[in-house]
Amino acid sequence: MFDIQHDSPVPIHEQLTTQIRMHIASGALKPGDTLLEYRAFAQKLLTNPQVVARAFSELEWDGALQKIAGGQMEVTTGAESRCRMKLQDLARARLRQAAAQALTFGLVEADILQAVEAELAAARVQPVAPGQARQAIKKTSHETSHRDAQGIQDLSRKDRSGSP
């Protein structure tokens, strides 16, 4: 249900917060559903408990989750619309960043609009189902980054040893 990319440039608490919001907004997590206590949740995700506590705290502050007995978190009534609004705000911010970057890199407005329209058309052809939302934001090859990192480490060892 959750896919944390430990080698991603996106901080783990942000990945977790976004994924929980996506699950709530899509209806995969409904009002009254519970999440494990933060330490147990962190153990399940193989991550630092403080990272999970930070994500839970942010979602509690936003009104998406509330703490219940036993330290578990429960999805609140109305969380679906709050999470959807937060995700839409995030999408708008990313679009603003992409547009500003495109302009900075020398693309003209017509080219930017054409690229956005093409991406919208592609997205309409293959809609993302609620259960596939996680796959839509997942890196294409998690293993590749580990292999690349290993290759860099191997090159680094060769450089220190003085051998080609």
Q: Where are the domains of the chain?
A: 12-139
69, 68, 66: which is closest to 78 by C-alpha? Answer: 66
For the whole prediction, is pTM greater than 0.75?
A: no
CB 18 within 8 A of CB 90: yes
Residue 69 has pLDDT above 70, yes or no: yes
What is the model's pLDDT at position 70?
Answer: 87
**Domain 12-139 listed as CATH 3.40.140.10:** no
CB 50 within 8 A of CB 57: no
Residue 37 has pLDDT above 60, yes or no: yes
